[in-house]
Chain A
Amino acid sequence: MIESFNAIKESLPYLLQGGVITLVIVVGAMSLGLVLGLCMAVGQVYGHPFLKRVIGVYIWFFQGVPILVLLFLFYFGLFNYIGLNLSAVAAVMVVLGMATAAYQANIFRGAILLLPQGQFKAASAIGMSDLTAITSIILPQVLRLSIPAWSNEFSIVLKDSALAFVLGAPEIMARAKFIASRTYEHLPLYIMAGLIYFVLTWAGVMALSKLEKTVRIPGYSNKGM
């Protein structure tokens, strides 16, 4: 019992450093996913039919293949093949980012389609260019509507990031496994690892829920829209 307690005490700082790396991976992946996902959603709604097709294939691919397979496919396969020498952390960030982009594209596309068509029409009617209408009228509303679903996606990606240990990225899971296999204190270490994921998820979801309330528009509701 005391040995377990000591193992936790000694390994906690080491695990928490892993938490920082997990956060770096998740923040990077979610940001990449946000930018790519928004562009793809706009392309899918307003783009040329050929562009819609290309984006459709992208989403279909990344939704259809498991994250673990994607990690191996890109890290050991494609990145090597094209001579791209990424660190494990960077590679996980990019692969998770590309995968979450597919899901985020669907989140944002759904929100765009939820907006009344008149919003775009009204912007066009006062002489706004299509691009300005999208960036100043459509996206500010779409981003607000998307926060709950985006928060969901954040919690999924955070937990998917544990798969990074298979590439040797020194994040929470990799560190927990490393110490556990040396000290044989499997139970306390994996409980600790789980708790750190739990706290990170909880903090992120709370922060996004706070953001949702901060940017809420008085009287505005998408119910019955």
Chain B
Amino acid sequence: MGDPILRVENIRKSFNGEVILKGVDLSLGKGEIKILIGPSGGGKSTLLQCMNCLITPDSGKFWLEEKPVDITHKKELYAFRQQVGMIFQDFNLFDHLTALDNLTIALCKVKKMGKKAATVRAMAELSQVGLADKTHLYPAELSGGQKQRVAIARALAMDPKVLLLDEPTSALDPEVMGEVIDVIRNLAEKGMTMIMATHQVSLIRTLADEILFMEAGAVVEQGQPKELLVSGARSQDFCDKLNRITGERR
């Protein structure tokens, strides 16, 4: 893998005395895809949200393309977040704006683009995720799968260097999960650097360059899928359980 795009070191976080993250180190190479798995409450979501400081970690160091990021400096933090895209489980589209304006407001307010240029760019991104005909609809008028695709388009419009995906398909009905998975696969083919928490075994098997098994706030197992999903490791056991629930074939 190429040079690290995003590197974090010793991320620690406690809430009300309960330790959620016990000093996690992580490095993402260019084009690399890492997948976080593990039981709920293991710290996956907290780790992802600490990686762009949506949750401020108690301690931790950040490097973007090997340049240290001072997260206590507001301007630097905003610029950092712009380059680290985030996809949420429950989409979090701006409810008062149409699909198109969800993208243009980001381009106008953050990238300071003109309204016209922003619209052109937003249309292009929405076409990419197959929503060119839904641009004028409000979030409440879109299906879950469409909402998530708008959210992905919105993140991509900011030209992120890396995407953090926090269970992007978990809130979706099975019949629309496929359309979001297709978009994610498409991104992977184009070489987008990603780290994703998911319970989708097909994604874990086929997309991951590396699997990180998280439990009780620490990465307890780490390796390529072909190592971790055959050898009687925790990861394999976990994926087998998921398979049994979802009925996916190995």
Contact = CB atoms under 8 A, between A and B. Distances in A.
B6 interface: no
Interface in B127-158: 137-141, 151, 154-155, 158
A121 B88 contact: yes
A219 B138 contact: yes
B95 interface: yes
A39 interface: no
A121 B190 CA distance: 27
Contacts, number: 83
A127 interface: yes
A123 B138 CA distance: 17
A127 B52 CA distance: 10
Interface residues of A, number: 24
B186 to A, nearest CB: 21
Contact of A125 (B54, B90, B95): B54
Interface in A80-111: none
A102 to B, nearest CB: 27
Nearest to A145: B96
Interface in B75-94: 78-83, 85-86, 88, 90-94
Contacts of B86: 122, 125-126
Interface in B51-88: 52, 54, 74, 78-83, 85-86, 88
A17 interface: no
Interface residues of B, number: 33
B92 A126 contact: no
Contact of A122 (B74, B82, B93, B141): B93
Interface string A111-139: 00000101101111111111010001100
A66 interface: no
Contacts of A218: 137-138, 140-141
Given A126-B82, A220-B96, 9 more contacts: A118-B91, A127-B110, A136-B105, A137-B96, A137-B105, A217-B140, A219-B139, A220-B138, A220-B140
Interface of A: 116, 118-119, 121-130, 132, 136-137, 140-141, 144, 217-221
17 contacts: A118-B91, A119-B94, A122-B86, A122-B93, A125-B85, A125-B86, A125-B92, A126-B81, A126-B158, A128-B78, A137-B105, A140-B96, A217-B95, A218-B141, A219-B139, A220-B95, A220-B140
